[in-house]
A and B are shown apart, each in its own frame.
Chain A
Amino acid sequence: MKGKKIVLMLLVVIMVMSLFVGCADNTVKSDAAENTEKKETETAADSEEMNPKIKEMETILMNQLDPMPEIGKGENVGVLIISLTNPFWVNMKDKYEKAAENLGITVEVLSAPTEGDTVSQLETLDGMAVKDYDSIILSPIDGNNLIPGIIRANQANIPVINLGPGVNKKALEEQDGHLDGIITVDFMNQGKMVAEDMLNYITDGGKVAIIQGLAGAGQSEGRTNGAKEVFENTEGIELVSIQPGDWDRNKAYEITTGLIQAHPDLKGIFACNDVMALAAVEALEVAGLNDQVVVYGVDFTGEAQESISAGKLDGSITYSPSVYTKAGLLLALKISQGQDITEPVYCPLAIVNKDNVNEFNGWE
């Protein structure tokens, strides 16, 4: 009896351990396997002509980053993203890894387990700060949650680059912490551009609504404020509701059903990301109001692209994640090689809608 128990216990422990070992090994192996595979597809993709829009964006960004750092010195860059439960960040991870390979450096992309888990994201950064990265690129869940970890990295003399959602710089500086570089998208401008494009399709005025992300998150607030400004300053447009969808597909779906109950004559919905916009499209489809309501999202995910091509979703706004991540890594290299970049680098933006979606084939 007792012997049996001990055997059982050992078995269990071995299983637990092997899970750890197993997944550790897996990542290494699959990385290696992918790398060789990727190289082939990558070179194949390179030889195909790059999407002209991407090329254009890359040129704009690379000009901002001039002079270029030395490439291919095998630096090790740690990247902390928000969560792998969001396709946008999954794609970003992918692009980081591709860009790193092209630049001849190593990159390790980590994240919080779920999108709202601010504490875990900080813990992850704390862990990264004790490792030997040449620099860390991070995208915080909200403005403040990573501040103590950034300070830890500062103390460990690891340069920190903030990509995307902004760190609360004032709060950081109050605690004698600093960022070594910033590369970002102007969220307010995203909101503005989307709202302006939406108005091209809502020609005779009417009611519009905004579905926000997680209240308090920088992307969400910026996009909302930008769109709000445009809507409120346009004659004939009435902004009837701003609801927090928390980046959640289901919440956005429910909000949309509620919105069309309350405002059957609704003309437009701006959702702060594509996941929520697609949910809105689903809800409108059920209500048969797809043609009446113009829906725009943000991010231009693969799913959004299909939906726009199929004539369901009306539009989105994007930048090129591959250009963005490449620029992030280049910025990281420049800084770890001792160049100073104090001004934020802005990623160029592009509106995608029904009329130009074909130009975005092969977008990455």
Chain B
Amino acid sequence: MKIINRFVRNDEGVDRSFAQAFLFFVLILLVAFLTSKSPFFFTWNNIRNILDNTSLQLILAIGMTFVISSGGIDLSIGSVVALSGIAIGLMLNAGVPIIVAAMMGVLLGGVLGAFNGFLISEFKIASFVVTIGSMSLYRGISLVITKGQPIYGFPSGFTFFGKGNLGEINPPIVIATLMVILAFLLFKYTKYGQYTLSIGGNEEALRRVGVNIKFYKSSIYVFSGICAGIVGLILTSRLNAAEPNAGFMLETNIIAAVILGGTSMNGGRASLSGTVIACILLSVVRNGLTIMSISSYYQQLFIGFIILLSVSISEIRQRRQLQIN
């Protein structure tokens, strides 16, 4: 006798959409509140600001969503942003064509990520340890190469990546949107995405069915590195200067956004839509505090408060329903 039930409840699905719905709800309320409080908030100029600022964080957060859902963490992204930006700056000043320099810079991000991935998967060192080391290493290289000085004076076409106009929106918004779509497809429809989750869910299980863990695990960090490389490109283009301090401590904001979005630090689950909403929410909070002229002290307080609250709520619900191990 067999009963096969095709259409079944999916507790986890319900749960995750709850967390996202909650965040979305907070976002909507916040937007409504800010709109009612300030005439400057709900203007196209300001919305564009918010989207523009969100897109940088979002691109990094997408890479981080992959890393965290695989049970790892990448603390080096801020430093990769700086170093790939500097590489682009040096190449531009050496007369390398813009498009080549841009691509090489993004690629360098991938290489720096591959170095992390190699150490993590080959020597089985915890990602926290490896990336806390490379965070310092890459930042150090940036400072040494530049002697602490920003690099600037690039050809005029270069600012397109950060500030060009595509109708009413900027390239970073387009790039971020494309990255979100790509990440969605990867997670949903490819082995790469599914294995990323399984590495977080049960790495040993994946190894036992004969999957090349080292390859997939390293490639997660390559992806994160590429995301950081793209942000390095955009940031350098936007500032029209490559700074050794670019992206300093950026990783904490990004990790916060990913966690807030509902991706579990334990790995195994990813919530891409949560990451998107969380990034927008954090940008709106920062922007809102500026618009309302509220001291920066409250920014930290407020963001910390939302993160702890949201994470606690979804963990409690999770715990109640899913007894794993």
Which residues in A have some Cβ–Cβ distance to B below 8 Å?
Answer: 8-9, 12-13, 16-17, 19-21, 23-24, 27, 83-84, 108, 110-114, 116-120, 123-124, 126-132, 141-145, 147-148, 152, 156, 168, 170-171, 174-175, 214-217, 221, 244
Partner of A214, one of B156, B245, B293, B302: B245
Indicate if B213 sits at the interface (CB-CB under 8 A): no
The 7 A-B residue pairs whose C-beta atoms are closest, nearest first, are A127-B290, A215-B148, A144-B241, A216-B148, A108-B293, A171-B152, A126-B49
The answer to whether A110 touches B239 (Cβ under 8 A) is no
Assembled-state Cα–Cα distance A129/B48 (Å):
12
Interface set, chain B 267-325, CB cutoff 8 A to A: 283, 286-288, 290-302, 305-306, 309, 313
Assembled-state Cα–Cα distance A129/B313 (Å):
37
Indicate if B246 sits at the interface (CB-CB under 8 A): yes
Indicate if B99 sits at the interface (CB-CB under 8 A): no
**A142 / chain B contacts, CB cutoff of 8 Å:** 150, 243, 245
The answer to whether A114 touches B249 (Cβ under 8 A) is yes
Interface set, chain B 149-180, CB cutoff 8 A to A: 149-150, 152-153, 156, 159, 162-163
The answer to whether B309 touches A120 (Cβ under 8 A) is no
Partner of B286, one of A24, A124, A129: A124
Indicate if B29 sits at the interface (CB-CB under 8 A): yes
The answer to whether B152 touches A168 (Cβ under 8 A) is yes
Rounded to whole Å, the gap between the CB of A137 and the closest CB of chain B is: 14
**A216 / chain B contacts, CB cutoff of 8 Å:** 143, 146, 148-150, 243-245
**A128 / chain B contacts, CB cutoff of 8 Å:** 290
The answer to whether A16 touches B239 (Cβ under 8 A) is no
The answer to whether B296 touches A113 (Cβ under 8 A) is yes
Rounded to whole Å, the gap between the CB of B42 and the closest CB of chain A is: 10
Indicate if B188 sits at the interface (CB-CB under 8 A): no
Partner of B240, one of A23, A110, A132, A174: A174
**B306 / chain A contacts, CB cutoff of 8 Å:** 16
**A23 / chain B contacts, CB cutoff of 8 Å:** 294-295, 298, 302
Rounded to whole Å, the gap between the CB of A213 and the closest CB of chain B is: 10
**A217 / chain B contacts, CB cutoff of 8 Å:** 245
Indicate if B74 sits at the interface (CB-CB under 8 A): no
The answer to whether A131 touches B291 (Cβ under 8 A) is yes
Assembled-state Cα–Cα distance A142/B143 (Å):
14
Assembled-state Cα–Cα distance A5/B53 (Å):
34
Closest to A174 in B: B240
Assembled-state Cα–Cα distance A24/B33 (Å):
12
**B56 / chain A contacts, CB cutoff of 8 Å:** 119
Given A24-B37, A216-B146, CB of A175 within 8 Å of CB of B159: yes
Residue-wise interface mask of B (36-70) relative to A, using a CB-CB cutoff of 8 A (1 in contact, 0 not): 01001001011001001100100000000000000
Assembled-state Cα–Cα distance A23/B241 (Å):
36
Closest to B238 in A: A148
Rounded to whole Å, the gap between the CB of A286 and the closest CB of chain B is: 27
Indicate if B248 sits at the interface (CB-CB under 8 A): yes
The answer to whether A118 touches B243 (Cβ under 8 A) is yes
Given A118-B246, A216-B148, CB of A127 within 8 Å of CB of B37: no
**B294 / chain A contacts, CB cutoff of 8 Å:** 23-24, 27
- Given A124-B290, A148-B239, 15 additional A-B pairs, CB 8 A: A12-B309, A84-B296, A108-B293, A110-B295, A118-B248, A127-B290, A129-B49, A130-B40, A130-B291, A145-B243, A171-B150, A174-B152, A174-B156, A215-B245, A216-B149
Partner of A13, one of B26, B239, B288: B26
Partner of B153, one of A129, A170, A221: A170
The answer to whether B239 touches A123 (Cβ under 8 A) is no
Given A27-B294, A27-B295, CB of A174 within 8 Å of CB of B153: yes
Rounded to whole Å, the gap between the CB of A140 and the closest CB of chain B is: 11
**B215 / chain A contacts, CB cutoff of 8 Å:** none
Indicate if B128 sits at the interface (CB-CB under 8 A): no
Closest to A27 in B: B294
Assembled-state Cα–Cα distance A92/B298 (Å):
19
The answer to whether A112 touches B296 (Cβ under 8 A) is yes
Indicate if B256 sits at the interface (CB-CB under 8 A): no
Assembled-state Cα–Cα distance A294/B16 (Å):
60
Rounded to whole Å, the gap between the CB of A275 and the closest CB of chain B is: 18
The answer to whether A16 touches B290 (Cβ under 8 A) is no
The answer to whether A144 touches B290 (Cβ under 8 A) is no
The answer to whether B240 touches A144 (Cβ under 8 A) is yes
* Contact sample, A vs B, 18 pairs, CB 8 Å cutoff: A13-B26, A19-B305, A23-B294, A23-B298, A118-B246, A119-B53, A119-B235, A120-B286, A120-B299, A124-B290, A126-B52, A127-B46, A129-B45, A129-B49, A142-B245, A168-B150, A215-B143, A216-B148
The answer to whether A17 touches B247 (Cβ under 8 A) is no
Closest to A125 in B: B290
Partner of B150, one of A20, A120, A143, A152: A143
**B247 / chain A contacts, CB cutoff of 8 Å:** 119
Assembled-state Cα–Cα distance A144/B146 (Å):
14
Rounded to whole Å, the gap between the CB of A92 and the closest CB of chain B is: 14
The answer to whether A12 touches B313 (Cβ under 8 A) is yes
Assembled-state Cα–Cα distance A217/B296 (Å):
21
**B187 / chain A contacts, CB cutoff of 8 Å:** none
Assembled-state Cα–Cα distance A129/B30 (Å):
21
**A145 / chain B contacts, CB cutoff of 8 Å:** 239, 243
Indicate if B250 sits at the interface (CB-CB under 8 A): yes
**A147 / chain B contacts, CB cutoff of 8 Å:** 239-241
Assembled-state Cα–Cα distance A9/B309 (Å):
11
Closest to B155 in A: A174
The answer to whether A110 touches B26 (Cβ under 8 A) is no
Assembled-state Cα–Cα distance A128/B49 (Å):
10
Assembled-state Cα–Cα distance A132/B292 (Å):
12
The answer to whether A131 touches B153 (Cβ under 8 A) is no
Partner of B290, one of A8, A27, A110: A110
The answer to whether A171 touches B153 (Cβ under 8 A) is yes
